[in-house]
Chain A
Amino acid sequence: MAHPQLTSTDFEPLLTNKAELEKISGKSTSYWKDAWRRFRKNKLALAGIFVILLLGIMAFNGAKMSGHNFKDNDLMATNQTMSKDHWFGTDTLGRDIFARTWEGAKISLFIGLMAAFLDLIIGVIWGAVAGYFGGKVDEYLMRIADILYGLPYLLVVILLMVLMGQGIWTMIIAMVITGWINMARIVRGQVMQLRSEEYVLASRSLGASNSRLLFKHLIPNTLGPILVTLTLTVPNAIFTEAFLSFLGLGVPMPHASWGVMTSDAIGAFQYYPYQLFFPAFFICLTMLAFNVIGDGMRDALDPKGRK
């Protein structure tokens, strides 16, 4: 049965290093490193981040570039189309649409980010406390959340705006009053699940205090779903701003938000469609960018759900 190609030297022992055997083939990478690697591969999500950064820069510098102020009206130059002087044209009151667009970017991004931030603070604390303590605390906290959750979000926001009057901060507060619930529910679910896992038990048996457990173990581990929810809250808030402005409940007069601009333009859009185009385009672009970033993050952070 001798193999023809082999010589007797081939049957000398192959010396292998025992320690080598225990080395795991293939590098093991940490969860966040791995997630970042996956996220970086997602060209669409990277483009989304680029768009947001660009919008952010333009929000602070765009108005200066045009040489026009967003609130100055020039009744001699109303409803002008795109020109050298007015890059995006002017609106019915002769205001420069280019300058207004970037002022709108500032307001929309501010409202979106601030609403998401406040949602985060309230939602995480509420959800983490409910999920961590469980029992009666959980029941009461989540019952309150359930009742608020049952109410249609926009209806509540509209009623609150009617009550509180127009303004950027009243709008943010109106959004946050019901907006945090989603975050709270997600955090609670995650915490409930993690609470029973072993490393929490382990650190508990080592005498870690409740607040230490909450902030050192549970919240870092629930960060993934929180980040995703956060990213998807921003476009929702931007949409709500536009929606309210459209109903005439948005930011008050001298301010120019994209919603206000859309609302102003829609009356005459049969004649001056470009006036509607710019704010509408930027609303969609921003929402699109945040949506693809959110999707990218979800795919990156949850390898199981990756399709």
Chain B
Amino acid sequence: MGKYILKRIGYILLSLYLIITATFVLMRLAPGSPFASERRIPPALEQQMNEAYGLNDPIHKQYIEYVVNAFTFDFGPSFKFVGQEVTDIIFRSFPYSLVLGLEAMFIALGIGVLLGVIAAIRHNKFSDYIAMVIAVLGISVPSFIMASILQYVFAIKLEMFSVARMESFADTILPAVALATTPLAFIARLMRSSMLDVLNSDYIKTAKSKGMSQRVVTYKHGLRNAMLPVISYMGPLIASILTGSFIIETIFGIPGLGSEFVTSITNRDYTVIMGTTVFFGILLLFSVLIVDLIYGLIDPRIKLTAKGGEK
């Protein structure tokens, strides 16, 4: 187990190194100097600023410095917002995204699993069809369209929520729902098909033949086994919520990491782009590791060993 975690962390560090290198290469190759758009800056001053940001050093020196700094989580100052450290921007904005992301995950998992289970139990009945219509629609409506619909209906027409503000918990509900829509639909479908598989399996018949009640059979024997595919979907779920936050935070005016990322792209704010990308990478890779560890705890057939532990 310990060995397995060490090995996985090794892989994570390797992946991070690749991400860091990739961001460096991409940003150095990218067209347009960060200061080019600011026409007021005279060439002499631009030269001076390039100097100050280390853009005139030989490329390999910049690279080594960048990698070292990245591993100590220091991405230097923002190109655009003078006087702000990238790290500060990340830590200032991340809490908003974290709250939103956790809320969305909670909604997606809770409602998705519920819909899937209902659909499976009431298979081929009315509630099954309703649940699956919701799921197909959820997959087909992109999050930013969902966000606009929610804003239009609940904030503008019904005035139940504020349009774009981030002050109280109520303000996070609409964006969290918009963010959760697609993964919720995926989870509902996944849960339904895996629950149907499980309910048709032999061991469910065994449990029934022991005289277990329908409730015990469905929930104690069925649900736990049917949850396994959903748990392995947690990695993609986190990735989906993370990338979904780029647009949702922008639409709802939430000062989170996603909207900072989008702003930095429009501004070609290299250091912020690199910093947030690396941060997203860390977040995602470690989430996937945690998900795998949880999976190992729930499914006794999976042995987390350094050799065969990877799926």
Contacts and interface: CB of A to CB of B under 8 A. Distances in A.
Interface string A151-164: 11111001110110
A162 B145 contact: no
Contact of A152 (B136, B163, B242): B242
Interface stretch (B25-33, B87-95, B206-214, B223-231): B25-33
B145 A152 contact: no
B30 A152 contact: no
Given A162-B273, A163-B29, A165-B31, A280 B148 contact: yes
Interface string B275-311: 0010011001100100000000000000000000000
Nearest to A266: B148
A171 to B, nearest CB: 15
A152 B241 CA distance: 11
Contacts of A270: 152, 156, 163
A284 B15 contact: no
Contacts, number: 100
Contact of B145 (A150, A235, A262, A273): A262
B284 A152 contact: yes
Contacts of B30: 162-163
Interface string B222-252: 0000000000000000010011001100110
B26 A159 contact: yes
B142 A247 contact: no
Interface of B, secondary structure class, is: helix
A283 B142 contact: yes
Interface string A283-304: 1110110011001000000000
A70 interface: no
A150 B15 contact: yes
A305 B193 CA distance: 8
Nearest to A281: B145
A155 B285 CA distance: 14
A162 B23 CA distance: 11
Contacts of A160: 26
A242 interface: yes
A15 interface: no
Contacts of A246: 144, 247
A307 B199 CA distance: 12
B193 A153 contact: no
Contact of A150 (B137, B152, B273, B288): B288
B239 A291 contact: no
Interface string A162-177: 1101000000000000
A276 interface: yes
A249 interface: yes
Given A243-B247, A249-B265, A150 B285 contact: yes
A248 B142 CA distance: 16
B114 interface: no
Nearest to B145: A280
Contacts of B204: none
Interface string B5-32: 0000000001100110011001101110
Contact of A243 (B136, B142, B277, B288): B142
Interface string B134-145: 001101111011
B67 interface: no
B123 interface: yes
B140 A266 contact: no
B266 interface: yes
B200 to A, nearest CB: 9
Contacts of B19: 151
A284 B149 CA distance: 12
A39 interface: no
B262 interface: yes
A154 B268 CA distance: 18
B150 interface: no
A253 interface: no
Most buried by A among B14, B145, B288: B145
Contact of B23 (A159, A243, A262, A285): A159
Interface in A135-162: 147, 150-155, 158-160, 162
Contacts of A152: 239, 242-243, 280-281, 284
A233 to B, nearest CB: 13
A159 B277 contact: yes
B273 to A, nearest CB: 7
26 contacts: A147-B15, A150-B15, A152-B239, A152-B280, A153-B243, A155-B277, A155-B280, A159-B273, A163-B27, A235-B139, A235-B140, A242-B144, A243-B142, A243-B247, A247-B250, A247-B262, A248-B265, A249-B265, A269-B148, A270-B163, A273-B152, A283-B145, A284-B141, A287-B141, A288-B136, A307-B123
Given A150-B284, A152-B242, A162-B268, 13 more contacts: A159-B273, A160-B26, A162-B30, A162-B273, A165-B31, A247-B246, A247-B262, A266-B148, A280-B145, A283-B145, A284-B140, A287-B139, A287-B142
Interface of B: 14-15, 18-19, 22-23, 26-27, 29-31, 123-124, 136-137, 139-142, 144-145, 148-149, 152, 156, 163, 193, 196, 239, 242-243, 246-247, 250-251, 262, 265-266, 268, 273, 277, 280-281, 284-285, 288
Give the top 9 A-B pairs by smallest Cβ distance, nearest first.
Answer: A288-B140, A154-B243, A287-B140, A280-B145, A152-B239, A163-B26, A284-B141, A163-B30, A239-B142
